[in-house]
Chains A and B, each alone.
Chain A
Amino acid sequence: MNLVHLAQAKSPWVLHYDASSCNGCDIETVACLTPLYDIERFGAVPIGSPKHADMLLVTGNVNHKSKRVLRNIYDQMTEPKVVVAIGICATSSGVFHQSYNVLGGADQAVPVDVYISGCPPRPEAIIDAIIMGAEKLKKKWKEEEHPVKRSNQGSDTERSTADVG
């Protein structure tokens, strides 16, 4: 693993997209950036463009209209990339599971690496998830440099889910 990749895994640039959340998880995600929780001490920097981002934070369940947008954002991000589903809506559509316009969690549109539950999750849980995502990013860089034969692997490699809280 070269120095650049190590640095990138230590300082993930995060992009936030609200797939169809009620704002609760969004403001907690933004609260992570502010002085009390200050996620920059772990190297995570919020960024506006998908092309610069290493990590996608998805809040809210996926609906018919946001599915395409979420997919577009994901496709624009460069490899390797990590998706974190924040909140119970992004995990399994939560309280809105009966609604006609809700397709399900974020995994209906993009492959998710880390799930966190909670409605909304506490900022500490979000920070924990971002750190887990960064670990995942490091693993993906390593895999990219030393590709392992697919047939030797079990089912729980990069698509596995690490549950937090």
Chain B
Amino acid sequence: MPSRTVIPFGPQHPVFPEPLQLTLTVEDEKVVEAVPSLGYVHRGLEKGAELNDFVKNIYLAERVCGICSFMHSWTYCSCIEELLNIEVPPRAEYLRLIFAELSRVHSHLLWLGLYADAFGLESLFMQCWRVRERSLDMQEAAGGGRVILSACTIGGMRRNLDEDMRRAFIKEVAEIRRDFERLVPVFLNDYSIKKRTVGVGVLSKEDAQSLGAVGPTLRASGVRSDARMLGYGPYKEMDFEPVVEEDGDCYARGVVRVKEVLQALDLITRALERLPEGEIKVNFRGRLKGEVFKRMEQPRGEMLYYVRASRNKNLDRFRIRTPTFANIPPLLKMLPGCDLSDVPVITLSIDPCISCTER
């Protein structure tokens, strides 16, 4: 009987930019049990949102997570728009899609960099982040901020694209694509990446469905599921097809994200070419009443917003279910049986966003 050792992994760990604690029980080098401990980033955001005016909550919703902050503000605004029966102008909807897909590009490139860093490919990490800076420059030029934009508001958008910028963006997207395509073969074919990821942390299709995985973690296990297939916003006009891989290991999860970057760049180009003319914002008045659920696809998977209000300027209840929270049970399924040295790679492969999870 090999002796068991308990190893604390985190909360402060060089692999993660964020604090996540896993208590790992290991037998020799094999992990037999992993227990997560959450709450290091809990800020009480949902309760805080009930204390604010519903318009001010946009700024709070953006700060659920700094990486996918635009998606959060879009989801929150569309919840409020549904309660107020606002018809958002088509140009604003297309601009929202462009910003959302830009943040998907920067989020996935960020993740691919951290992923490369997790198995020691530091120059690949640097290259990914170098390409990512171009998408941040686009966000800054159009939205005014590198990370948190505050460009989305109730009834539309606060920032418009002029014709020169639209043309420049189409060119810039093509250049990001060209830069990124030089990195793609490394992620797909490199010997050391394959050695570290193929067959590691396998999540079967049945497990992925029964444990409620979402996003790239689910799609890498062969399930065709993406909230963008619901056709919210302009996605219904985009002939959207989700990226699906069959193997369910860390390699497949990486491949899904690599292909999603290329797909997001395609979506941005298509949206920029079809960008309708017209207003970008409608004014609104009135008080909120009723309740609403919204599902949208974040870079990490599907998220769910619930808003309830009863004619006050404050919300009665604000609830967010974020993708990383849904992906933690599948992670705990992947970890037992793996080597201790693979724990950082497997944990990163679900793209954990702790500030989303704990809010």
Question: Which residues of A approach B to under 8 Å, CB–CB?
Answer: 16-18, 20-31, 34-36, 47-48, 50, 60-61, 63, 65-66, 69, 73, 95-96, 98-102, 119-120, 122
Contacts and interface: CB of A to CB of B under 8 A. Distances in A.
3 smallest CB-CB distances across A and B, nearest first, come from: A24-B66, A48-B14, A23-B66
23 contacts: A17-B19, A18-B18, A20-B40, A20-B41, A20-B42, A24-B147, A24-B148, A27-B17, A35-B126, A47-B14, A69-B40, A73-B12, A95-B59, A96-B45, A96-B63, A98-B51, A99-B44, A100-B47, A101-B42, A102-B43, A119-B63, A120-B66, A120-B148
A33 to B, nearest CB: 8
Chain B interface mostly: loop
B41 A60 contact: yes
Nearest to A49: B14
Contacts, number: 121
B130 A34 contact: yes
B44 A21 contact: no
B355 A21 contact: yes
A24 B356 CA distance: 12
Contacts of B125: 34
B66 A99 contact: no
Contacts of B110: 27
A27 B133 contact: no
B19 A35 contact: no
Contacts of B355: 18, 20-23
B252 interface: no
Contact of A36 (B45, B47, B130): B130
A21 B66 contact: yes
A37 to B, nearest CB: 9
A61 B43 contact: yes
Contacts of B130: 34-36
A4 to B, nearest CB: 25
B60 interface: yes
A30 B51 contact: no
A68 B343 CA distance: 25
Nearest to B48: A99
A23 B114 CA distance: 14
Contacts of B66: 21-27, 120
Contact of B12 (A24, A35, A63, A69): A69
Contacts of A95: 59-60, 63
B126 A99 contact: no
A120 B355 CA distance: 15
B172 to A, nearest CB: 15
B129 interface: yes
Chain A interface mostly: mixed
Contact of A23 (B113, B133, B353): B353
B175 to A, nearest CB: 15
A22 B11 contact: no
Contacts of A98: 48, 51-52
A71 B64 CA distance: 25
A69 B19 contact: yes
Given A22-B65, A35-B130, A66-B40, A99 B12 contact: no
B359 to A, nearest CB: 9
B67 A27 contact: yes
Contacts of B129: 30-31, 34-36
A24 B18 CA distance: 11
A31 B40 contact: no
Contacts of B17: 16, 18, 23, 26-27, 29-30
A27 B147 contact: yes
Contacts of B52: 98
Interface in B52-84: 52, 59-60, 63-67, 69
Contacts of B43: 20, 61, 63, 96, 99, 101-102
Residue of B43, B69, B133, B355 contacting most chain A CB atoms (<10 Å): B43
B13 interface: yes
Contacts of A120: 66, 146-148
Contacts of A27: 17, 66-67, 110, 147
Nearest to A100: B44
B39 interface: yes
A6 B102 CA distance: 44
